[in-house]
Amino acid sequence: MVKICCIGAGYVGGPTMAVIAAKCPDVEVVVVDISAPRIEGWNSERLPIYEPGLDDVVKQCRGRNLFFSTDVERHVADAGIVFVSVNTPTKTRGLGAGKAADLTYWESAARIIADVSRSDKIVVEKSTVPVKTAEAIEKILTHNSKGGIKYQILSNPEFLAEGTAIQDLFSPDRVLIGGRETPDGRAAVSALKSIYARWVPDDRIITTNLWSAELSKLAANAFLAQRISSVNAISALCEATGADVTEVANSIGKDSRIGPRFLSASVGFGGSCFQKDILNLVYICECYGLPEVANYWRQVIRINDYQKSRFVNRVVSSMFNTVAGKKVAVLGFAFKKDTGDTRETPAIDVCKGLVGDKAVVSIYDPQVTEEQVQRDLVMNKFDWDHPRHLQPMSPSAAKHVAVSWDAYEAARGAHAVCILTEWDEFRRLDYQRMYDAMHKPAFLFDGRNVVDPDKLRRIGFVVYSIGKPL
Ligand code: NAD
Ligand code: UGA
């Protein structure tokens, strides 16, 4: 029986391994993590992450050929293929702080593999890493190799998006596997390919050299984020001219060379990866002496920051230049719908901006707890543009933020509603009921273009939608 071990039971490791276990009942898959609460969560009725369809897949395989454990050493030692899916956040200190990827967790995983291995292993980079990381990992493994143990490093980046992870894993646009162009390297690629080939058509499994695979992941995220910053930049021009960004996006998306997806203007992109991966790309370009290329990609993040502060400015300026003491309801705190993940969510910056102007903020999100919101607001945030920490919200300021159990409660007695996540339920709310319980004039700022502005204006709301005529 092939044995797979995955180091890192997070948003990628958990769902990815669950799907491999579901599709390969004859393969034993063990997901290990140093975090005991995470592993406990994976072994419980309430999984540590919310992802549509995930519960069913885990329940189908857990205890059969899918296991979650904190015994990292034992399961790494037993496995033939070791995936490494640990976090690779932006460095906050030292060389490259604010840009470079922090590979501390990756290096510690590699050292554990070297320490405990007693047989040859295929080590798979699942985490998103800087191009050339495989070379560094290879050095750690071979310099610490015991008794002639051989390692093959593969790059197999993950392209799933949160909220649609299970669907993305069941029918991926492509699976990418990069390996060494040697007989052993090719054998390792084909061993990993044979796992995916159980459910992914052959023409969707791409094999490349190691560096192309590593760079393709960073480039894919940079291209995706660039589309959002492009449409968001156009949204500002729409507001200035009377054009409608939805109509513009629809018109340009009909060009088959551009395509219709990923052109929704928003309050800004969030999530744990777009900003981190672009900063990583920027840093790599700078290290290779390519400042023009670095600056090109840096601009994608600048526009994203601009979009978030533009939104806050619009709220404050529309409400007679002051929100001091006014209740503002925030609908949605997760970085996108169908996830409880709040990493780098634009809602953090918007809430900080509003509280900075002395608003009283009341948040409703179907998947985010009060505890999580408070943690996010008081967390130290690194300013990528200038190497320093931004002031987190003080605990006393964070008291001006409360979490409500439903949207109507959040909006009761409020002067304004801000929609910051595109949850489907926000499209179906009874806005008349909400309006009736608000101060007048009642403002609605739609950061995701989920409501019909004309309909809401007929109710009496003063509506601002991203990139739409006022
Ligand atoms: P995560 O923070 O949710 O999970 C990482 C896990 O690794 C944590 O539970 C942590 O405790 C564990 N870990 C760290 N060091 C360890 C060690 N030495 N031994 C055992 N466990 C260890 O991160 P994530 O969102 O799953 O992302 C993982 C990687 O995948 C990142 O590089 C990310 O860029 C990439 N990625 C993420 C997504 C996504 O949607 N979140 C999608 C594609 C790629
Ligand atoms: C993204 C990529 O889509 C995945 O392919 C990739 O694997 C992943 O990053 C990663 O490397 O972590 P994810 O961040 O989970 O996935 O979610 P997306 O659907 O890409 O959304 C990212 C952000 O962009 C969200 O805040 C979303 O609301 C925003 N967005 C997305 C827009 O503002 N407009 C759009 O048209 C699309």
Residues annotated within the binding site for NAD(+) are 8-13, 33, 38, 86-90, 127-128, 162, 273-276, 343
Banded model confidence at residue 380, pLDDT cuts 50, 70, 90: confident
Query: What mean pLDDT do residues 435-446 have?
Result: 98
Query: What mean pLDDT do residues 377-386 have?
Result: 80
Is beta strand 416-419 parallel, antiparallel or unpaired with respect to 388-390?
Answer: unpaired
Query: What's residue 397's pLDDT?
Result: 78
Query: What's residue 383's pLDDT?
Result: 76
User: Are the beta carbons of 291 and 325 closer than 8 angstroms?
Assistant: no
Query: What's residue 403's pLDDT?
Result: 96
Banded model confidence at residue 434, pLDDT cuts 50, 70, 90: very high
In percent, the amount of the chain with pLDDT more than 70 equals 99
- Check residues 385 and 272 and name the one with the higher pLDDT: 272
User: Are the beta carbons of 188 and 154 closer than 8 angstroms?
Assistant: yes
pLDDT one-digit tens code per residue, 395-408: 777 778 999 999 99
* Atom number in ligand 2 closest to CA 273: 12
pLDDT of residue 15 exceeding 80: yes
CA-closest candidate to residue 358, choices 396, 411, 309: 396
The alpha-helical segments, DSSP class H, found in 361-430 are 370-378, 395-398, 407-411
Query: What's residue 412's pLDDT?
Result: 98
User: Out of 6, 61, 273, 418, which one is annotated catalytic?
Assistant: 273
Cβ neighbours of residue 241 closer than 8 Å, sequence gap 6 or more: none
User: Are the beta carbons of 66 and 6 closer than 8 angstroms?
Assistant: no
Query: What's residue 387's pLDDT?
Result: 65
Burial of 371 (0-12, 13-18, 19+ CB in 10 A): exposed
In percent, the amount of the chain with pLDDT more than 90 equals 93
Ligand nearest to the CA of 87: 1
pLDDT one-digit tens code per residue, 92-133: 999 999 999 999 999 999 999 999 999 999 999 999 999 999
Copy the structure tokens of residue 3.
């044995």
Distance CA 303, CA 227 (A): 11
User: Are the beta carbons of 362 and 438 closer than 8 angstroms?
Assistant: no
Query: What's residue 243's pLDDT?
Result: 98
- Whole-number Å distance, alpha carbon 368 to ligand 1 midpoint, is 20
- For residue 80, the tally of other CB atoms under 10 A from its CB is 15
User: Are the beta carbons of 375 and 403 closer than 8 angstroms?
Assistant: no
ipTM above 0.95, yes or no: yes
Q: Is the CB of 9 under 6 A from ligand 1?
A: yes
Query: What's residue 396's pLDDT?
Result: 78
Ligand nearest to the CA of 11: 1
- Whole-number Å distance, alpha carbon 14 to ligand 1 midpoint, is 9
Query: What mean pLDDT do residues 222-249 have?
Result: 98
User: Are the beta carbons of 468 and 238 closer than 8 angstroms?
Assistant: yes
Copy the structure tokens of residue 343.
């990493």
- Dihedral over alpha carbons 374, 375, 378, 382 (to 10 degrees): -140
Ligand nearest to the CA of 271: 2
CA-closest candidate to residue 140, choices 108, 187, 182: 108
Query: What mean pLDDT do residues 442-453 have?
Result: 98
84 phi, psi to nearest 5 deg: -115, 115
Query: What mean pLDDT do residues 297-324 have?
Result: 98
Which residue CA neighbors atom 15 of ligand 1 most closely?
105
Copy the structure tokens of residue 147.
């008794």
- Whole-number Å distance, alpha carbon 48 to ligand 1 midpoint, is 13
Helix (H, G, I), strand (E, B), or coil: what is residue 195? Answer: helix
Given ligand 2 and candidates 228, 232, 305, which is best to mutate, with the most ligand atoms within 8 Å of its CB?
A: 228
Given ligand 1 and candidates 32, 86, 164, which is best to mutate, with the most ligand atoms within 8 Å of its CB?
A: 86
List, as one string, the DSSP characters of 20-46: HHHH-TTSEEEEE-S-HHHHHHHTSSS
First CA to last CA across the chain, in angstroms? 63
Helix (H, G, I), strand (E, B), or coil: what is residue 329? Answer: strand
User: Are the beta carbons of 98 and 90 closer than 8 angstroms?
Assistant: yes
- Whole-number Å distance, alpha carbon 106 to ligand 1 midpoint, is 10
Helix (H, G, I), strand (E, B), or coil: what is residue 175? Answer: strand
Query: What's residue 130's pLDDT?
Result: 96
Banded model confidence at residue 436, pLDDT cuts 50, 70, 90: very high
Banded model confidence at residue 2, pLDDT cuts 50, 70, 90: confident
Which residue CA neighbors atom 1 of ligand 2 most closely?
161
pLDDT of residue 389 exceeding 70: no
Alpha-carbon distances, residue 92 vs 30, 278, 346 (angstroms): 31, 15, 20
Query: What's residue 385's pLDDT?
Result: 77
pLDDT one-digit tens code per residue, 271-281: 999 999 999 99
Alpha-carbon distances, residue 452 vs 447, 457, 464 (angstroms): 13, 9, 11
pLDDT one-digit tens code per residue, 164-216: 999 999 999 999 999 999 999 999 999 999 999 999 999 999 999 999 999 99
Query: What's residue 181's pLDDT?
Result: 96
Q: Is residue 273 among the annotated active site residues?
A: yes
pLDDT one-digit tens code per residue, 47-62: 999 999 999 999 999 9
pLDDT of residue 381 exceeding 90: no
Distance CA 64, CA 365 (A): 35
pLDDT of residue 382 exceeding 80: no
Distance CA 301, CA 273 (A): 12
pLDDT one-digit tens code per residue, 314-369: 999 999 999 999 999 999 999 999 999 999 999 999 999 999 999 999 999 999 99
Averaged confidence pLDDT in the chain: 96
Q: Is the CB of 246 under 6 A from ligand 2?
A: no
Distance CA 257, CA 179 (A): 31
Query: What mean pLDDT do residues 64-87 have?
Result: 98
274-287 and 210-241 helices, crossing angle to 10°: 120
pLDDT one-digit tens code per residue, 122-162: 999 999 999 999 999 999 999 998 888 999 999 999 999 99
As beta bridge partners, residue 361 has 328, 401
Query: What mean pLDDT do residues 279-307 have?
Result: 98
Cα dihedral across residues 177, 179, 182, 187: positive or negative? negative
- Whole-number Å distance, alpha carbon 439 to ligand 1 midpoint, is 44
Angle ∠(167,36,110) on CA atoms, nearest 5:
75
